[in-house]
Structures are given as C-alpha cells and as structure tokens.
Structure 1
Amino acid sequence: MRMIGIEEYDERTMQLAKPICDSRRRVLLGAGNVIHPKYREKLEQIGIKYLFIEDFKSKGISLEEMMDMPTWLDIITVTENAYKAAETNQPLPLPEIQKAVKKLISEVQKRNAIMLIPTTAVDQSLFLYAHAVNVTLIALQIGKKIGHTYTQLNNLGIGCLLHDIGKTRTSNKEEHPEIGFNIIRVHREINLVSAHIAYQHHETIDGKGFPRSLAGNDILEFAQICSLANDYDHLISQDGIMPHEAIEQIMTFSEKKYSHHIVLAFSQGIISYPPGTNVQLNIGSKGRGIVTRIESNPHRPIVRLLELNKEINLNQHPTIIVETILKEENHRQLI
C-alpha cells in the first residue's frame, strides 16, 4: 500500500487500498475498487487530494509510521464535536477529548517516527478538525523527543487538539487565538497551560507574531511546539509540499519562529521520504526506486531498486543520497 496524489491515479494499474469516506464517514468507495475518471472528478470537487492504493510497486509497503485511518477518523469526530460545542456555547465534551488525547499519545509512543495522513485525504468539511488532529500528533512526537512526562504530553495534546477552536466564533485570523483561550480556560478540568497554547500558537520568538507580539522566553515552549506542528501540517496537507522540503522550510525558522531545540526534536521524529515515495538515487539509471520502509533513521530509508529488484538501506551507504523525487507518470515511463 502507498499514498499518492489523486491526480496520479491510474485506473488501469491501481485499486484502492483504503476506503474513501464522506464528511459523515459513509463509505463512498470501498477498498479494492477502481475509480472511474468521472468519479475521480467528483472526489476532487469535495476536496480529496490523496488516495491510498495498491499496485505492483506497492507490495511490501505497509505505512507503519502512519496512524490507521479508522482511529484517525474517530478522533476527527471527537474534535468536530468539541468545536461544534464551542460554536454553540456548550460545554466541551471533556471525557471524549481526554480519551482522544490519550489515544494519540499511545499512537506516538509506539512509533519511532510519524507520517501524517494529509487533511486533504478526507472531505473538505473535515479539514479544520483533521488539521487539529495532525497538529497534535506532530506536537506529541516533538514532546516525546524532548523528553516530556506523560502529564506534560497530556496538557500539550489537549492544547493542540483545541488550538484552533477560536475559529468557531470568528473568521478574523488575529482574533481566534484569544477567543480560543477564553473558550478553554473556563473549563477548570483543563490545565491553564493548554489554554495558553491556543492563545500563543501564532506568536514567534522574534516578536513578529500575534495577537500580542510576544518574544523569546515570554512564549511557552508548548505554544512553540504547536506553532511548528501547525506550520508543518499546512505545508504537507494544504500546500502539497513533499515532507523533506517541508522539513527544510521549518528548519530555516530556527531561532526566528521557534527555538532551536524544538526544531531539532522535530527533525528527529519526522520522516523525510515516506514509504511509497518514488525516488532517483545518485547512482545513475540503476538508482530509480521506491521507498519501502523506515528503520533506524527517519531520513535514510530503505529503497527498492526497480531495475535490480533489490533493496538498499541508505543508512548503511552514506554516499548514496536521494537525488530527486520522481512524479508518478515519469516514474511509470522509466520502468
């Protein structure tokens, strides 16, 4: 199984590996089906940009670093319910939120590295909630690498899951952090640190953020972690930037938007070349291949060389690097 952009789908050689669901989690097309071109157009119209497929190249690729979709969708539903409650001035469903965060902590703790399901793999009406779940996953991964305790991870996770909840009451970008803070802080069962994550997640350590232009140590570490995770998911999901390029972009903001130790922890737990990525290594024509899995190093994957029909572990060959990412149609022409 591998993930591709919907525009790369070829009904002649590919079939769905995971079902496609609408905003109410109803199955639009089940696993094992082939997508007709007209149906693909409809999927694109509702905002779906990524598919999980099986084909002859995907054998042996399991995407173990990715959270399973049913669990991801369950937590998206919990997040949606929380945001809807805030929108109608109802109390937040705290038991469900706390249970969801515990599940996300468990998902992160059992993986050495994380690979996101892009928010654009679901109906666009769920983007806001899927984004919150993805931000929480990345933030918890960073917190784990830094060495935060379980209680700290719990407070970080709740704050990140609710970081955009202020958007339920305003469309003004600069107002939503404070509104979100006020929504969260009235719930005494939630640590005030979690509320401040929502308040400060658009502040930057160079003082150029909002809503209060805080700088340096005036910004909570947890808020910086949320800010970085927020930026990374936008790059991956909305902008469609490849993970290795998104990681590089994040690294350029070290000591500008977020502290260096947070960027370092982030880089240690995020995959540069996800399984299923078509690559060209710097060893000539024999270097065309596909990433099959990640072992010890999230930036040095195992690559199956298609011409030689064998695998190579880049972590054991320091002089061999990924020269370029091949688009599906170009990769298909070369094999």
Structure 2
Amino acid sequence: MRLAILTQNLEGKILGNTVYNENGVLFLKEGSVLTLTAIKRLQNMGINTVYIKDDDNDNDNEIIVQETIETQIKLKLIKLLKEIFNDVKVKNYVDYDKAYEIIDTIIQNINLSENAILINNLTKSDSLSYLSIHSIDVAILSIIIGTNKKYDMKKIINLGLAALLHDVGKLIENNKEHHTILGYNLLKQNSMFKPTTFTAVYQHHEMEDGSGPLGLKGDNIFEFAKIINISDLYMNLISKEGNVLPHEAIERISALGNKINSEIYRNFISSVYCYPNGLRVILNNGLEGLVIAQNKNMTTRPIIRVKENGRYNYYNLEKELTLFIEKVIL
C-alpha cells in the first residue's frame, strides 16, 4: 500500500482506504477499483490524496497506518461542530459547552503514536463541511504541538478551543481582515471563553515579521496564535486548496523564513512527520523504497524498506546517517 496524489494516473488502481462523506455514509470502500469517474468525484469533493494497493507489493501488512483520530469519532465531532456553526448563523452566539466537548473528545482519543496521521478520507460536499473538517484538523494539530511544548491541560484546552474556532468569523464574513475580529467578538460575548482563546482567534493570521493584517510582530503576537497560524497554513497546503504532500507543505512553510517564529517552527516540525508511511521515495544512494514506519524523535528520517536482489532490506535513517531521502515518487 502506498500514498499517492489523486490524479487520473491512478485509474484502475485499488483503493487502500475507505472514504466516507461528512455525514458518515460510506462513499467508496477499501478495495474498490478507481475509475476516472470515481477519481473526478473524489477530487470535486475535496479528496486530494489516497492510499492505493500495489499489485507488486506482497508485504502490505508491514506498512503501519494509524489515524490520529478514528474516523467514526471524527465524524461525530464534525456533526457537533456543524451544530455550533449553525447556531452562530442563527443566534450569533458560540456554544462553549459543545466546543469544549469536541476538544475534550479529541484530547481523550488522540493517537500520538509516530505512525498516526490525519488521513484524508472524508469528502466535503459544501463550504460548511470544508470549514468544519478543516477546523477540527487545525485543532488536532495545534493540540499535538501544545502537547510537545509540554503545556498543562488547561493551556491545551484553551489552545484547542481557539484552534477549533479560529475561523468562526467566516460564518459572518469571509474576509481575512474582518473574520478575525468578528470571531474575536463572537467568543468574547460568552464569558466561558478565556482571553487567551479569543485573543488567539484575533491574531491567528499575524506573521513574525509584522506582515500580517494587524501588523503585529514578534513578542506582540500571542503564542497560541503562532501555533494556530502554522497549523492553519499546513492544513491548507495539504488540502485540496494546496494539493501537496506533507514534505512539500513543510518545505513551503520553511521557505517563509522569518515570517514564522523559529521556536514554534521547531515545535511544529517535531509534531509533523514529513514522509508519511506508504510514500515511495528514492534515497541519495539511488535505491528506491517505501516508507514503512516513523522515528518518534526524528520526524524527517523514517524507516525505509528497499527491495534488493529479490529480498527486502530495511534502512533506518535515524541510524543510517549518511543516507537521506532525495526524492519522492508520486
């Protein structure tokens, strides 16, 4: 099984992961043959990467793919977040208890294993579905970063709430400058939300060098906002909007240079695995292989399986320091 960008080149390939719509209805089952019609429908509904089963791969069971949050749990969270968002449209009010329930469920069920990833297996039928799925993914990644920063539970909850609701202002006006202040004002109306939460929502588009919409820079930007900013950038890049794989998204974020806080970047890079399991790669020694597992403390140096002389050999890049991934095969 390998990870691939969803293009017409996958016609005739066997799907390696089940795809659901955002309401939990099975859209395309694992083992289905990818037709041009199916590929087009998946693309139109926001799916840009899939796992496929290789005809020549007789060791699929070695590839460990775990979900950061199980699909069935995530579907329930999406339904609850849609209720929150619909309430905002009707009542101009954000329900704290429902938002807290989502964050608490994520915290209780998140898989922090090095082999867990956010699998892109939920279709998006409309803008509200996209916003809901994106918001939950940004919350999950922000919580992982906060955990790696050794935040206590109170801080993780308030960070998670801010990340979950970072774009809530878009339900009123989808404008980069305006939606942040609108979200800030919405949350501030409910005394249950802490200043750390609504301040992060207000500042989450600010950049370290002052090039954000508010012109804030450096230490004037709240740390939660910096975490949500980089999580938001990353999730946008690996979604249909950016249509790139994790290593490319990380390269693009790295290229932002002094626009991103260096410490937050280090926390981010230790939270995201550049080369997901199932990715085909070429090493700098010319050998072609498949990423089969990750190293917890070395997110850029996974374990690669290579077929040489009719047998499989394994290269752990955490230990094989002269080897590195030179190219990804799409």
Aligned position for 1:306: 307
**Alignment partner of 1:143 is 2:146:** yes
In the TM superposition, what are the counterparts of 1:152-171 in structure 2 within 5 Å? 152-171=155-174
Question: Aligned-pair distance for 1:8?
Answer: 6.1
In the TM superposition, what are the counterparts of 1:125-274 in structure 2 within 5 Å? 125=126, 126-210=129-213, 212-237=214-239, 238-254=241-257, 256-274=258-276
Instruction: Deviation per CA, 1:67-113: give whole Å up to 9, x if none.
Output: 32222222222222222211222543433321211222244574357
- Aligned residue identity for 1:265: N
Question: Aligned-pair distance for 1:55?
Answer: 3.8
TM-score by length of 2: 0.88
Question: Aligned-pair distance for 1:310?
Answer: 2.3
In the aligned structure 1, how far is the partner of 2:238 from the partner of 2:46? 15
Counterpart contact for 1:304–1:311, Cα < 8 Å: yes
Counterpart contact for 1:303–1:311, Cα < 8 Å: yes
Q: Once the two structures are aligned, what percentage of the paired residues are identical?
A: 26
Question: Aligned-pair distance for 1:170?
Answer: 0.6
- Further displaced range: 62-71 or 185-194: 62-71
Aligned position for 1:41: 40
Distance 1:248-1:108 versus aligned 2 partners, 3 A rule: farther
Aligned length: 321
Which 5+ residue runs of structure 1 have no aligned equivalent?
A: 328-335
Structure having the larger proportion of residues in strand: 2
Question: Aligned-pair distance for 1:175?
Answer: 0.4
In the aligned structure 2, how far is the partner of 1:215 from the partner of 1:36? 49
Aligned position for 1:330: none
Counterpart contact for 1:50–1:121, Cα < 8 Å: no
RMSD of aligned Cα (Å) = 2.3
In the aligned structure 1, how far is the partner of 2:71 from the partner of 2:9? 20
Instruction: Deviation per CA, 1:275-318: give whole Å up to 9, x if none.
Output: 0110011122xx11110111332211111103442222111100
In the aligned structure 1, how far is the partner of 2:118 from the partner of 2:30? 20
Question: Aligned-pair distance for 1:247?
Answer: 1.9
Counterpart contact for 2:69–2:106, Cα < 8 Å: no
Counterpart contact for 2:158–2:194, Cα < 8 Å: yes
Which 5+ residue runs of structure 2 have no aligned equivalent?
A: none
SS in 2 for 1:303: strand
Q: After TM superposition, which residue ranges in structure 1, 4 or more long, deviate above 6 angstroms? A: none
- Aligned residue identity for 2:174: S
- Aligned residue identity for 2:40: E
In the TM superposition, what are the counterparts of 1:283-322 in structure 2 within 5 Å? 283-284=285-286, 287-296=287-296, 297-307=298-308, 308-322=311-325
Instruction: Deviation per CA, 1:18-54: give whole Å up to 9, x if none.
Output: 2x22343322222333233323333333333232344
In the aligned structure 2, how far is the partner of 1:298 from the partner of 1:65? 17
In the TM superposition, what are the counterparts of 1:86-97 in structure 2 within 5 Å? 86-89=88-91, 91-97=93-99
Question: Aligned-pair distance for 1:148?
Answer: 0.8
In the aligned structure 1, how far is the partner of 2:204 from the partner of 2:10? 40
Counterpart contact for 1:113–1:270, Cα < 8 Å: no
Distance 1:131-1:51 versus aligned 2 partners, 3 A rule: same
**Alignment partner of 1:7 is 2:10:** no
Counterpart contact for 1:2–1:62, Cα < 8 Å: no
Aligned position for 1:275: 277
TM-score by length of 1: 0.87
Question: Aligned-pair distance for 1:182?
Answer: 0.8
In the aligned structure 1, how far is the partner of 2:264 from the partner of 2:49? 29
In the aligned structure 2, how far is the partner of 1:62 from the partner of 1:128? 29
Counterpart contact for 2:92–2:186, Cα < 8 Å: no
Instruction: Deviation per CA, 1:235-261: give whole Å up to 9, x if none.
Output: 22121223223223323445x333221
Instruction: Deviation per CA, 1:211-267: give whole Å up to 9, x if none.
Output: x3222222110011111111111122121223223223323445x333221111111
SS in 1 for 2:87: helix
Aligned position for 1:17: 17
Question: Aligned-pair distance for 1:173?
Answer: 2.2
Counterpart contact for 1:65–1:111, Cα < 8 Å: no
Distance 1:34-1:93 versus aligned 2 partners, 3 A rule: farther
Aligned position for 1:333: none
SS in 2 for 1:139: helix
